[in-house]
């Protein structure tokens, strides 16, 4: 009979690297965390530069409030955050970050350099991090308003991850897709996304008061001219409380794949149940079953949303989710029917 093997504690550096690999699954997850940090910092302009699908370089620059000099030593430690102090705060959290894990994780699987300046300062500071700690004292440097974060050599110490990412279609497409989604929701912020060495940006949005303008500039005229505005709300505490507004494609729109851009309380999330439910409505309502384009922004009381169900915060769970999904289905269905009937009538 085999002796039971001894149990020992893993090295902290191993634990941290494993955890970091879950938070930062691929280059696009790093970009999402960095852009969300820039949004949390009240930026009005965010630009992203990417080299080699994000494996060589990811650079996110913003014009937000910056990071205090005194906070730089703990900035990239695990579980350091300015957005949460007690567990109960999670119930009412409005910021996109709260775990204080994103920057730390990046330093465990890549080389991170932060340049930042706060208001009223004559110069900024630049400092590099590795495995959660500063590599050197922050150096004074010239800086424009805000923060710039650079990640180099992502997954340099995770050979298998790096290899699969190098072989798979590059993450740049995913990054462009991500910024397109942010750009049509946060229409008071201008976004740009560019590949290193390219003359033109692949996403280039300017702040505009009109959502439809934003959609036109990011997704193009063919999408924008085939959209219908939708709105719905409910305020019945016994079933559901929400407000929703958005745009959905009409029967002239043609696409092979569904585009579903969903924000819940300003958080970019995925909800497979809702996506499937709405696809079903399209198939049932429109004879020429094209896959839809859907932009939806749903606001709910913060205490009805659990934002903490996924390490990358990609999914949320909602109180009364079935009720809400059903309501969205019926709103979309009636809007589609009406538009289809008025069109047939015109013809
Ligand atoms: P979280 O966003 O969950 O707080 P992060 O690791 O993403 O954790 O960031 C840690 C902290 O660093 C944030 O709480 C914020 O105070 C600060 N920070 C990160 N990025 C920026 C930025 N672009 N501008 C200003 N502050 C930032
Ligand atoms: Mg964050």
Report yes or no on 34 lying in a domain: yes
Are 20 and 69 part of one and the same domain?
yes
Mean local confidence (pLDDT), 285-304: 90
Are 314 and 246 part of one and the same domain?
yes
Please give the distance, rounded to the nearest whole angstrom, from the Cα atom of residue 307 to the centre of ligand 2.
13
Q: What is the DSSP string of 204-263?
A: E----S-HHHHHHHHH-HHHHTTEEEEEEEEEETTTEEEEEEEEEE-TT---SS-EEEEE
Are 177 and 133 part of one and the same domain?
yes
Are 166 and 257 part of one and the same domain?
no
**What confidence tier does 61 reach under pLDDT thresholds 50, 70, 90?**
very high
Q: Please give the number of the atom of ligand 1 that sits closest to the Cα of 84.
A: 4
Please give the distance, rounded to the nearest whole angstrom, from the Cα atom of residue 134 to the centre of ligand 2.
18
Rounded to an integer, what distance in angstroms lies between the CA atom of residue 235 and that of residue 70? 45
Please give the distance, rounded to the nearest whole angstrom, from the Cα atom of residue 26 to the centre of ligand 1.
19
Are 21 and 145 part of one and the same domain?
yes
| Among candidate residues 234, 232, 212, the one with its CA nearest the CA of residue 223 | 212
Mean local confidence (pLDDT), 272-292: 90
Are 231 and 182 part of one and the same domain?
no
- End position of a domain, from candidates 205, 235, 269: 205
Are 39 and 118 part of one and the same domain?
yes
Q: Is residue 182 a contact partner of residue 35, using CB atoms and an 8 Å limit?
A: yes
Are 338 and 198 part of one and the same domain?
no
Probe residue for ligand 1, chosen from 16, 31, 36, 37 as the CB with the greatest number of ligand atoms within 8 Å: 37
Nearest bound ligand to the CA of residue 36:
2
Span 82-100, pLDDT tens digits: 999 999 998 888 999 999 9
Domain of residue 305, residue span: 226-345
Q: Is residue 332 a contact partner of residue 248, using CB atoms and an 8 Å limit?
A: yes
Rounded to an integer, what distance in angstroms lies between the CA atom of residue 168 and that of residue 161? 11
Mean local confidence (pLDDT), 48-77: 97
**What confidence tier does 345 reach under pLDDT thresholds 50, 70, 90?**
low
Residues with CB under 6 A from ligand 1: 33, 37-38, 41, 62, 64-67, 75, 81-83, 97-104, 147
Report yes or no on 217 lying in a domain: no
Strands 45-51 and 57-62: antiparallel
**What confidence tier does 203 reach under pLDDT thresholds 50, 70, 90?**
very high
Surrounding ion ligand 2 within 5 Å at CB are 37, 97, 102
Please give the distance, rounded to the nearest whole angstrom, from the Cα atom of residue 82 to the centre of ligand 1.
7
pTM of the model: 0.94
Q: Is residue 297 a contact partner of residue 258, using CB atoms and an 8 Å limit?
A: no
Please give the distance, rounded to the nearest whole angstrom, from the Cα atom of residue 127 to the centre of ligand 1.
15
- End position of a domain, from candidates 153, 176, 205: 205
**CATH number for position 337:** 3.30.230.10
- Take atom 25 of ligand 1 and give the residue whose Cα is closest: 66
Report yes or no on 4 lying in a domain: no
**CATH number for position 45:** 3.30.565.10
- End position of a domain, from candidates 158, 173, 205: 205
**H or E element in which residue 49 lies:** strand 45-51
Asked if pLDDT for residue 346 goes beyond 70, the answer is no
Task: Lay out the sheet containing 227-236: strands in order across.
Answer: 227-236, 240-249, 293-299, 259-264, 267-269
Look at 45-49, 137-141, 235-239 and tell me which has the smallest mean pLDDT: 235-239
Percentage of residues of the chain with pLDDT beyond 90: 84
Rounded to an integer, what distance in angstroms lies between the CA atom of residue 167 and that of residue 140? 40
- What ranges in the chain are assigned the alpha helix state H? 12-23, 27-40, 102-109, 159-167, 172-185, 211-219, 221-224, 272-285, 321-346
Report yes or no on 210 lying in a domain: no
Report yes or no on 213 lying in a domain: no
Are 120 and 187 part of one and the same domain?
yes
Are 236 and 193 part of one and the same domain?
no
pLDDT at 67: 98
Asked if pLDDT for residue 284 goes beyond 50, the answer is yes
Probe residue for ligand 1, chosen from 72, 82, 126 as the CB with the greatest number of ligand atoms within 8 Å: 82
Please give the distance, rounded to the nearest whole angstrom, from the Cα atom of residue 105 to the centre of ligand 2.
11
Are 59 and 90 part of one and the same domain?
yes
Q: Which two tokens stand for residue 98?
A: 């709260």
- Take atom 19 of ligand 1 and give the residue whose Cα is closest: 37
Asked if pLDDT for residue 271 goes beyond 60, the answer is yes
Residue with tokens 């149990």, as numbered in its chain: 7
Name the domain count of the chain: 2
Are 183 and 332 part of one and the same domain?
no
Span 220-235, pLDDT tens digits: 999 999 999 999 999 9
Report yes or no on 53 lying in a domain: yes
Mean local confidence (pLDDT), 23-31: 96
pLDDT at 1: 85
Please give the distance, rounded to the nearest whole angstrom, from the Cα atom of residue 16 to the centre of ligand 1.
18
Q: Please give the number of the atom of ligand 1 that sits closest to the Cα of 105.
A: 6
Rounded to an integer, what distance in angstroms lies between the CA atom of residue 135 and that of residue 129? 5
Q: Please give the number of the atom of ligand 1 that sits closest to the Cα of 101.
A: 6
Across all residues in the chain, what is the average pLDDT?
94
Report yes or no on 212 lying in a domain: no
Span 110-160, pLDDT tens digits: 999 999 999 999 999 999 999 999 999 999 999 999 999 999 999 999 999
Report yes or no on 1 lying in a domain: no
- Take atom 23 of ligand 1 and give the residue whose Cα is closest: 38
pLDDT at 347: 47
């Amino acid at each position: 009979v085999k002796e039971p093997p001894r149990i020992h504690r893993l090295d902290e550096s191993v634990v941290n690297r494993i955890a970091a690999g879950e938070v930062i699954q691929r280059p696009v997850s790093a970009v999402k965390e960095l852009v969300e940090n820039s949004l949390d910092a009240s930026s009005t302009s965010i630009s992203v530069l990417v080299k080699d699908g994000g494996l060589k370089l990811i650079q996110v620059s913003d014009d937000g409030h910056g990071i205090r000099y005194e906070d730089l030593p703990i900035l990239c430690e695990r579980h350091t955050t300015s957005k949460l102090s007690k567990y109960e705060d999670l119930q009412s959290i409005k910021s996109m970050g709260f775990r204080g894990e994103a920057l730390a994780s990046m330093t465990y699987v890549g080389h991170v350099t932060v340049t930042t300046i706060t208001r009223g300062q004559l110069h900024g500071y630049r400092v590099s991090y590795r495995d959660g700690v500063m590599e050197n004292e922050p150096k004074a440097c010239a800086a424009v308003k805000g923060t710039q974060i650079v990640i180099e050599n992502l997954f340099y110490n995770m050979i298998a991850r790096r290899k699969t990412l190098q072989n798979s279609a590059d993450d740049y497409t995913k990054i462009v897709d991500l910024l397109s989604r942010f750009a049509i929701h946060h229409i008071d912020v201008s976004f740009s996304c560019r590949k290193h060495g390219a003359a033109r940006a692949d996403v280039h949005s300017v702040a505009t008061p009109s959502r439809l303008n934003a959609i036109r500039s990011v997704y193009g005229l063919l999408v924008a001219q085939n959209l219908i505005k939708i709105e719905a709300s409910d305020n019945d505490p016994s079933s559901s409380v929400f407000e929703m507004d958005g745009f959905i494609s009409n029967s002239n729109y043609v696409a092979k794949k569904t585009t579903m851009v969903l924000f819940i309380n300003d958080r970019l999330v995925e909800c497979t149940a809702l996506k499937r439910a709405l696809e079903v409505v399209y198939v049932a309502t429109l004879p020429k079953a094209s896959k839809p384009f859907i932009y939806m922004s749903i606001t709910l009381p913060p205490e009805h949303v659990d934002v903490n169900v996924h390490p990358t915060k990609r999914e949320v769970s909602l109180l009364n989710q079935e009720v809400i999904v059903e309501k969205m289905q019926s709103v979309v269905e009636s809007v589609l029917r009406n538009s289809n009937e008025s069109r047939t009538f015109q013809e």
